[in-house]
């Protein structure tokens, strides 16, 4: 079965359940390049350069580099289609899946979200998102999104799955890891502060999100090593 690309109301097709080849193969149907000044390529969105895109002239996307092209496509879809998306609530967070449920990592800049994602993926968890988590406003599931970091490598992409656990994360190299339970409403408030498309959620979507968080395990983590969080989650998911 083919659906429109995961979370965005664009005309790109992606089969579900997605595979790595399917996620990366979507870029073969779109001709895009990073904005550049090398005069050798047609530049995409030359009038919409912003801090989310690389410095013009520094990185040139070439079709054979699927990871860079996929990351560029992920950024374009997030920045230009994300705010107008109506079928999903988009949160700034990272997420993985154990095949049954999603584990979300929410936190401020440099809080360790990307490091946790890489660590969990390296430990065998399935990729869901490295930057923007998509929560379905009709079914309450977390859907996979294209990566925005071209250095990220993963082999398995998750099916859409319900939220199983949420970590409010903060990294500190000077303190020992401390993980404690957090109230669902605390997680909800933090998520709403990091919502890309607040106009989409509505009363029904808000109730669905509240229900999902109340049924999930919610934690607050001050960690010095991502392995501590992995061990903590693994010990409680058996």
Q: What is the pLDDT of residues 67-126, one digit of tens each?
A: 776 777 777 777 777 888 888 999 999 999 999 999 999 998 888 899 999 999 999 999
Q: What is the pLDDT of residues 3-44, one digit of tens each?
A: 333 333 344 444 434 445 555 555 444 434 333 444 343 334
**What are the distances in angstroms from CA 204 to CA 6, 90, 107, 147, 222?**
21, 16, 25, 28, 33
pLDDT score of 238: 62
pLDDT score of 168: 96
Write out the two tokens for 199. 């106009």
Q: What is the pLDDT of residues 44-61, one digit of tens each?
A: 433 333 333 444 333 344
Write out the two tokens for 10. 């664009």
Map out the domains of the chain as residue ranges. 2-236
| pTM of the model as a whole | 0.75
Q: pLDDT at residue 196 above 60?
A: yes
Q: pLDDT at residue 209 above 90?
A: yes
**Please, are residues 229 and 177 in contact by the beta-carbon 8 Å criterion?**
yes
- The whole-angstrom distance between residue 61's C-alpha and the CA centroid of its chain comes to 22
- Over range 232-236, report the average pLDDT: 90
Report DSSP letters for 75-135, one per residue: HHIIIIIGGG--SEEEEE-EEEE-SSSEEEEE-STTSSHHHHHHHHHHTTPEEEESSEEEE
pLDDT score of 84: 80
pLDDT score of 78: 79
CATH class of 2-236: alpha beta
pLDDT score of 51: 35
pLDDT score of 82: 81
Q: How many angstroms separate the CA atoms of 182 and 5, rounded? A: 33
pLDDT score of 165: 97
Stated as kind and residue range, the H or E segment containing 15 is strand 13-15
Q: Which of 123, 102, 101, 112 is nearest to 226 (CA)?
A: 112
Q: pLDDT at residue 190 above 90?
A: yes
Q: pLDDT at residue 64 above 70?
A: no
Q: What is the pLDDT of residues 151-171, one digit of tens each?
A: 888 888 898 999 999 999 999
Q: What is the pLDDT of residues 128-151, one digit of tens each?
A: 999 999 999 999 999 988 888 878
């Amino acid at each position: 079965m083919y659906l429109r690309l995961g979370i965005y109301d664009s005309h790109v097709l992606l089969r579900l359940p997605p595979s790595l080849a399917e996620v990366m193969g979507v870029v073969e149907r779109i001709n895009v390049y990073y904005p550049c000044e090398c005069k050798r390529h047609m530049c995409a969105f030359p009038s919409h350069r912003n801090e989310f895109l690389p410095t013009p002239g520094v990185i040139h996307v070439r079709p054979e580099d699927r990871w860079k092209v996929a990351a560029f496509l992920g950024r374009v879809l997030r920045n230009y289609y994300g705010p107008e998306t109506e079928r999903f609530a988009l949160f700034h967070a990272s997420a993985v899946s154990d095949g049954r449920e999603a584990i979300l990592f929410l936190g401020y800049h440099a809080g360790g979200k990307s490091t946790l994602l890489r660590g969990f993926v390296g430990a065998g968890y399935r990729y869901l998102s490295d930057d923007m988590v998509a929560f379905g406003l009709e079914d309450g599931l977390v859907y996979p999104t294209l990566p925005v970091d071209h250095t990220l490598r993963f082999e398995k992409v998750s099916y859409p799955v319900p939220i199983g656990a949420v970590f409010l994360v903060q990294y500190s190299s000077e303190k020992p890891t401390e993980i404690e339970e957090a109230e669902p409403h605390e997680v909800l408030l933090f998520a709403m502060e990091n919502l890309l498309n607040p106009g989409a959620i509505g009363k029904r979507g808000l109730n669905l999100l509240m229900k999902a968080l109340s049924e999930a395990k919610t934690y607050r983590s001050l960690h010095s090593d991502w392995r501590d969080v992995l061990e903590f989650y693994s010990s409680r998911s058996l």
